[in-house]
Amino acid sequence: MKKHLLIIFFILGIKLFAQNNLDFYTNKAIENNASIIKLYNQNKINKLQIDLNYAQNSDFQISLTSNYLFAPFFNNSGGLISTNPDINAIGYDAGITNGGLYSAQINVDKNIFNGAAIDALNNRQIIQEESIENNIELAKRDLIKQVTDQYLQTYLSFKLFELSSEIVANLNEQLELFAELSKNGIVKQSEYLLLSLENENQNITKNEFYTQFKVNLFQLNSLCGIADTNIVTLDSVLLKTKSVIHQSELFKKFELDSLSFQNEQQLFDTKYFPQISLFFNTGLNAVEISNIQRKFGLSAGVNFSLPIYDGNQSSISQQQNQILLESVKSFRENFKTTLNNQKISSQVRLENINNNINNLSKQMESYKTIISISEKELQQGQLSMFEYLTLLKNYTELRKNKITNEINYQLEINNYNY
């Protein structure tokens, strides 16, 4: 059979470069998928956010500030502009401006005793990191399901092409035999022509399956991010049902949602803790330009704040988060029920397909015996070509149905595992 296929591939001009398996395509799909790459990059950004949280909320903040204010007085003792006013001068109150401001300072600020806020922010990033990692697993799960489905569809078209090629090869052998029998008058010329016509029809079917195989293969390559137009053969697939543990990432998202709501409440409550910060500055700070070289100095101090009443915002926020947690619990239970029902339905379909495969196998065995007998009867003129071709078509349909059911069985296992 493989020899026949190689000859057919050669005649069709098909270049066979490799034989790929399902793992090759799933690995390529995960490696090249832009959404998964984006999630990995988001996780890198998320890890850097922990450092940013510390830098923004607990590290020293050093800044340079500079101010210059010119506030002149007009109509001062007959003068147009002055910075030393009398009682008749027009301008800002001298007690406020002193006529100007000259400032150039280095400022240092640092929050202290805010570990609870830092912990809450870091917990948020940890939860987000776990959520992204879970989303990566879910994305891989979806992608593997899609790739496996497409691989099986491609493999189905290849197996049907393989079957058609086998039928054409067998018909060619029959044609050679019947050509001699027709010349010798053992079989009718019309019988030979009928067999030749059937051979042409099977060639058309074979080419259609080959075209479908190419289309499916290119779609598989596109799904996996493979830039390749070469024709390859595919390994067979034998999937097995997986345990419930395989579904852990499906339920983990609900757990992470709950943790996220709890963390938001934790972060909200940090605003009720005492807020204490230290500050220090040094440099130039003067309101008059005279003797400005002696106006360099420094200052330091402590800022403190503590909320006393804000309309019970914390209690309202807790009630909101509790409602959200109840919603998550409800969604989880609903999802669990739906998933269990889908699995039961999938098990029923698997059992039905398996029964079909067994029945088709039994029918095929019976047809093999009948066809073997009918070939001898055909050569002896005891069976018409039409009757023989009818048997052959029925047997071919059985084989097609069995191949299709075997692939459908694998598709259903893939659906069950998903």
List, in sequence order, every beta strand (DSSP E) within 220-293. Answer: 231-234, 275-286
Separation in Å, CA 290 to CA 100, 131, 304: 11, 63, 36
pLDDT attached to residue 150: 97
What pLDDT sits at residue 1?
A: 45
Average pLDDT in the 148-174 region? 94
Q: What is the mean pLDDT of residues 281-303?
A: 90
β-pairing, 275-286 vs 61-70, is unpaired
Confidence of residue 191 (pLDDT cuts 50, 70, 90): confident
Q: What is the pTM of this model?
A: 0.82
Q: Which of 130-134, 185-189, 232-236, 274-278 has the lowest mean pLDDT?
A: 185-189
pLDDT category of residue 190 using cuts at 50, 70 and 90: confident
Q: 158 exposed, middle or buried (CB, 10 Å; 0-12, 13-18, 19+)? A: buried
Spans of all domains in the chain: 2-58+114-273
pLDDT in tens, 85-125: 667 777 777 666 666 788 999 999 999 988 899 999 999 99
Please tell me what DSSP assigns to residue 412: H
Q: Each residue of 241-251: b (16+ CB within 10 Å) or e?
A: eeeeeebeebe
Please tell me the predicted confidence (pLDDT) of residue 247: 66
What is the per-residue pLDDT for 11?
46
Polymer length of the chain: 418
| pLDDT range class, residue 187, cuts 50, 70, 90 | low
Distance CA 293, CA 303 (A): 30
Residues whose CB falls within 8 Å of the CB of residue 10, separated by 6 or more in sequence, listed in order:
none
CATH for 2-58+114-273 is 1.20.1600.10
User: What is the average per-residue pLDDT within 35-53?
Assistant: 93
pLDDT at 10: 46
- Is the Cβ–Cβ distance between 201 and 171 less than 8 Å? no
Question: What per-residue confidence (pLDDT) applies to 159?
Answer: 96
pLDDT (tens digit per residue) in 360-387 = 999 999 999 998 898 888 777 788 888 8
Q: What is the spatial distance between Cα 108 and Cα 92, in angstroms, rounded to a whole number? A: 32
In the predicted model, is pLDDT for residue 340 greater than 60?
yes
Predicted confidence at residue 277, as pLDDT, reads: 94
Query: Residue 3 pLDDT more than 50?
Result: no
Share of the chain above pLDDT 70, in %: 89
Asked if 291 and 282 touch (Cβ cutoff 8 Å), the reply is: no
C-beta separation of 283 from 309 below 8 A: no
Mean pLDDT of 296-319: 93
Kindly indicate the confidence band of residue 84, based on its pLDDT and cuts at 50, 70 and 90: low
Question: Poorest-confidence range of 69-73, 313-317, 403-407?
Answer: 69-73
Show the tokens assigned to 81.
Answer: 């502009």
In this predicted structure, the answer to whether residue 210 has a pLDDT above a threshold of 90 is yes
